[in-house]
Chains A and B, each alone.
Chain A
Amino acid sequence: MNTVLEVRDLKKAFGGIHAVDGVSFDVNEGEILGIIGPNGSGKSTLFNCILGQLRPTSGEVSLDGRPVTGMRPCDLNRLGVSRTFQLLQVFPELTVRENLILAAQEHKGSMLSRLFGARDAGLTGDANRMIEFFRLGHLAENKASGLSYGQQKLLDAAMAFMAGPRLVLLDEPAGGVNLTMLANLRERLEAINREEGATFVVIEHNMEFVMALCSRILVLAEGRIIAQGDPAQVRRDPKVIEAYLGH
């Protein structure tokens, strides 16, 4: 199996606090990897270091064997690494379709073709397919600000998939989403994984969601990986139970 993402001994310190303290792992093509851990265990910092939002103190990140440590998020995104944020981030004044077009318009052509070429950068078809896929069809022309929280969360996820990424990092996709919407979201993520072979890394607090979705799970505590394996193994691991329940 091919390795898409390699993280080697990644560290990030804020003053004296080691938020991420020597984390190494691989992400294999086509898998759904879950990263769990108590609050403050460094999950989001790890994402931000991998994705160039934060510059790691030390360590290496490579994508398909190519070093990408500290690369700007926009360049990394154009190489096929996409993400969502913990707090949902859509563009409220753009319509649902415009949000989706924006999410892919920088991936082809040049600055000049984006100025003089088609207004939709030739992406209306792709956007409509994505809207159908995430069942947002009746909302395509609505401003994102008019959508419910759950609908915005779906749009947020859809934007991450719009440019056909190789790897998608999802930071708490289930946060604040109601049960019906949650089942819908999980089903959509599984379908993309199955049909497009997209590789995911998912940070999540909702154990049920993460155990059902992921084939492999890493457990982070105090900036280190304390356990990994399939969901059943992780659930039984005494170190994991201790990290979650305290001493």
Chain B
Amino acid sequence: MMRRRAAIYGVAAAACAIFLVAAPFALKPYGIFILTTWAVMTIAAIGLNLTLGYAGQVSMAQAAFVGIGAYTTALLTTHGWPFWPTFALAGVACFAVGWVLGYPALRVQHHYLAFVTLAFNTLVFLIFRNEEWLTGGNYGISNIPRPSVFGWEADRPRDFYFFCLAHLAVISFATWWLIRSPWGRAFVALRENPMRALSLGVDTRRYTLMAFAIGAGLGGLAGSLYAPLVQFVDPVPFALALSLNLLLMVVVGGSGYFFGPFLGAIVAVLLPEWMRFAEGYYLIGYAVLVIVLMVFCPSGLFGLAERLLFPPDKNAPAAQPKAQGEGA
């Protein structure tokens, strides 16, 4: 059973990898641009999936971290810095800010935490817009150079796409390692029952802060790639709408599933482009899709795939209905 599952996922992952490598040779520059956007947004969604999907901490501030990462790289590369140091700095800065944002999560949970993080996102947006001396305000920062690595200019769309894809691959591997390590188990325990986790020696405070910091750090790395992708940053893309969109990617893709964000980002980034012919009706279709999915399969597209591919074993010992309050 486990072997069959591993085999199916292995084949599917290999097919996707081949597609991702081959696709840019068949696509026009605009298609490659969209695919690159998908890769970048997937990184941000992977981060949010760690915070929300695995560790169960609601964050509506992922766009703020993408923004901080994007501005970090935009400011420094336009002042002559090479890309990678700014990439690292974006990740570290967002890790630190995410750690601090984690403190409210130690006191408030669920929708209260959503509001705290939402306010943070708005605050960061206002800083981008109003601190003109630093961010250029509404005019933003333009002429952001594409990275060059050891003399190789990742300037043309296809080259930059592969540059981003390589970063996505490395980040995916690191995240996969993290969630399979004891940390991943502690994150899930934090999501499912923080009080029990605490009584079993899990330092829930430290893991909560880590979940926020790592998720935010990945948001920063995504932002750092976003800046040279669009080569122009202004505050608008990092408003609350992007946070909601990233949240939707995680939830629609399958919150708490490793591959969930990859699927969710397809829906959020690629689908609108394919559905152009539907014009205004696209949003209606999208909304209906999300509602239907959430009603019938709250575990998202990946949860749906799991359910279709591996229906629950009828011979497995059935769970007795939980006796709530029993023995209380």
Contacts and interface: CB of A to CB of B under 8 A. Distances in A.
A163 interface: yes
A146 B319 CA distance: 5
A98 B317 CA distance: 18
Contacts of A93: 188, 192, 256
Interface stretch (B6-14, B88-96, B179-187, B261-269): B179-187
A89 B319 contact: no
A148 B320 CA distance: 5
B218 to A, nearest CB: 15
Interface residues of A, number: 48
Nearest to B190: A91
B15 to A, nearest CB: 27
A176 B183 contact: no
A53 B204 CA distance: 13
Contacts of B323: 149, 176
Contacts of A149: 320, 322-323, 326
Interface in B264-321: 316-320
A141 B326 CA distance: 27
B199 A83 contact: yes
B202 interface: yes
Interface extent on B, as a size class? 35 or more
B16 interface: no
Given A149-B322, A175-B326, A98 B199 contact: no
A115 B200 CA distance: 18
B34 interface: no
A159 B197 CA distance: 11
B302 to A, nearest CB: 14
Contacts of A89: 193, 195-196
A128 to B, nearest CB: 17
User: Helix, strand, loop or mixed for chain A's interface?
Assistant: loop
B200 A72 contact: no
Interface stretch (A27-35, A61-69, A105-113, A188-196): A105-113
B196 A85 contact: yes
Given A73-B198, A146-B316, A147-B319, A87 B185 contact: no
Nearest to B323: A176
Contacts of B182: 101-102, 105, 114-115, 117, 119, 121
Contacts of A104: 200-201
A47 to B, nearest CB: 11
B126 interface: no
B178 interface: yes
A107 B201 contact: yes
20 contacts: A72-B203, A74-B204, A77-B199, A77-B201, A87-B326, A89-B196, A92-B192, A102-B197, A103-B200, A103-B201, A104-B201, A105-B182, A106-B200, A114-B186, A115-B178, A115-B183, A119-B180, A142-B316, A146-B316, A148-B320
Interface of B: 2, 178, 180-183, 185-186, 188-189, 192-193, 195-204, 206, 256, 316-320, 322-323, 325-328
